[in-house]
Amino acid sequence: MKLKFAHTGTVASCLLLASSWQVTCLASGAVSCNNISDYLDCTSVGRKEDVVFVFDTTGSMDEEIAEMQTAVIEFSDAIAAAGIDYRLGLTEYKSFPACGAPDDTPYNVYNNGALTGHANVMRGWIQSLSAGGGGAESVLAALAHSISDQHWRSDASRIVVLIGDEAPNPDGDPCNEEGNTVDGVIAILRSQGIITHVIGPDDDSMRRIAAETGGSFFEIRTTDNITGILANIAELISCSYRIRSSYAYNNGKLKIETALIGAGEKTIPHIEGQFQVEVTACGEMGCNEFGLTPKITGDKTVYKHTADVTAFEQPAKLTDLSTLVNVCEYSVTTQATLHIGKCEAGVTPTPQPPTVSSVVDGNKAMVSWTSDPFAREYLFFFAPYSNPIGAKTYNNLMMFNMEHQTSIEGNLQAGSHFYVAAQSSNCSGSSDLSNIGVVEVK
């Protein structure tokens, strides 16, 4: 049995042609690190970013705390000006009491992990910080609890900005009271798709945390202050590209293909030595990492890898897939939860019915539907509108197999008026039909 599916979130790279609902894709252009910003999407309207600051508040950090009160406002204004729907969070850390001052707090996740979309609220949290204490600082525990305890949005990109002037305790040090290791924290950050920028001392561990999660490293108290560094990070966030990945499973092998989409829906071609494209697959038995290799055809680059995924073949279990891409200094991650194992009728759960929604802007219409990780394909239905529903609708019902795509968009003629619906299926059966949506172009 051979199955093909694609995880695209929205198929923004495809155009819906007139009333035929056919899909076509667009071409690519050239790029280099010197002019890469010309090829990135810097509009960012509607893009969601969650940014959590992990902040050292030991006694030596009083100047940084004072500067952050204004720096965070400028940072928030910069990413908001790019049209980004942002949320901010804060985790402060000092030391475990046994290795620092008796009243030290090893980590404190502000607001019980609820992120805020208001820069002034974040500023208030920073104003409440107090520099004091110190010792062997709990950097790794603070990162681990930022991952697990902050309320990250499921549909947002995730970023940590770690700010501190001391390196993590060495692996095995008793001051790592929760048993965290540098490798372990990096692995969790990668599996959760969290890009981590580090403002810290010139230390191998701090540099690794940034480099291996797609972030940038900035040495603290050197040529630039916190405000300038955060302005740099805001620029990296504001201009970006999208990851479009597809997966095909066959007899224990998972074929992965990824393309990078920049401004104007153009594919960004490969620059030798300047691209990192990796996929982390995590299931009940642990995680595996796969590096993708560029395949260049004309001016189009697709990154490919065929992975042995026999460890993830359970018929009723899901696999979390996290893709990390670094282009020059710009990094992007995506996450997908999919069933990539064997589909066994009656064992693999039948997918749930999707929920359909539609948006019309002028002549442009987009229909999207919620996904189910066990779905192996989606059927998209549309038919002429009639009220009440009658022969005009029933006799002209059209259906398309969208494989694993979860949206379709394009331009429709004025006066177009359709019912739309979707259905998910796999080897165990088909879901009920979704709700009935309506698309009307006046």
**pLDDT of amino acid 16:** 34
CB-based burial of residue 442 (10 Å sphere; 0-12 exposed, 13-18 middle, 19+ buried)?
exposed
Q: In what order do the strands lie in the sheet with 364-369?
A: 23-25, 14-16, 407-411, 364-369, 356-361
Q: What is the mean pLDDT of residues 314-323?
A: 88
CATH number of the domain encompassing residue 204: 3.40.50.410
Does residue 179 share a domain with residue 76?
Answer: yes
**pLDDT of amino acid 19:** 31
**pLDDT of amino acid 223:** 66
Does residue 222 share a domain with residue 119?
Answer: yes
Q: Give domain status of residue 18, yes or no.
A: no
Does residue 209 share a domain with residue 114?
Answer: yes
* Tens-digit pLDDT profile for residues 41-93: 887 677 899 999 999 999 999 999 999 989 999 999 999 988 899 999 999 99
Does residue 50 share a domain with residue 115?
Answer: yes
Among candidates 334, 277, 12, which has minimal Cα distance to 269? 277
Per the structure block, which two tokens stand in for 241? 């590209």
* Structural domains of the chain, count: 3
Q: What angle do CA 201, 207, 211 make, to 5 degrees?
A: 150
Q: Give domain status of residue 254, yes or no.
A: yes
DSSP code at position 129: -
| Chain-centroid distance, C-alpha 416 | 35
| Distance separating alpha carbons of residues 119 and 117, to the nearest angstrom | 7
User: 200, 218, 238: which is the final residue of a domain?
Assistant: 238
Average pLDDT, the chain: 87
| Distance separating alpha carbons of residues 250 and 248, to the nearest angstrom | 7
Q: Give domain status of residue 167, yes or no.
A: yes
CATH number of the domain encompassing residue 320: 2.60.40
Q: Does 181 or 372 have the greater pLDDT score? A: 181
Does residue 52 share a domain with residue 129?
Answer: yes
In the predicted model, is pLDDT for residue 403 greater than 90?
no
Q: Give domain status of residue 347, yes or no.
A: no
| Parent domain of 47 | 43-238
Q: Give domain status of residue 295, yes or no.
A: yes
In the predicted model, is pLDDT for residue 425 greater than 90?
yes
Does residue 75 share a domain with residue 172?
Answer: yes
CATH number of the domain encompassing residue 414: 2.60.40.10
Does residue 207 share a domain with residue 276?
Answer: no
User: 190, 218, 238: which is the final residue of a domain?
Assistant: 238
User: 208, 223, 238: which is the final residue of a domain?
Assistant: 238
| Distance separating alpha carbons of residues 154 and 318, to the nearest angstrom | 17
Confidence of residue 31 (pLDDT cuts 50, 70, 90): low
Q: What is the mean pLDDT of residues 374-381?
A: 92
Among candidates 88, 49, 56, which has minimal Cα distance to 162? 56
Q: Is the pTM of this model over 0.75?
A: yes
**pLDDT of amino acid 35:** 85
> How many CB atoms within 10 Å of residue 226?
23
Q: Give domain status of residue 286, yes or no.
A: yes
**312-326, 376-390, 409-423: segment of lowest average pLDDT:** 312-326
Confidence of residue 338 (pLDDT cuts 50, 70, 90): confident
H-helix or E-strand containing 154? none
Does residue 140 share a domain with residue 71?
Answer: yes
Does residue 176 share a domain with residue 55?
Answer: yes
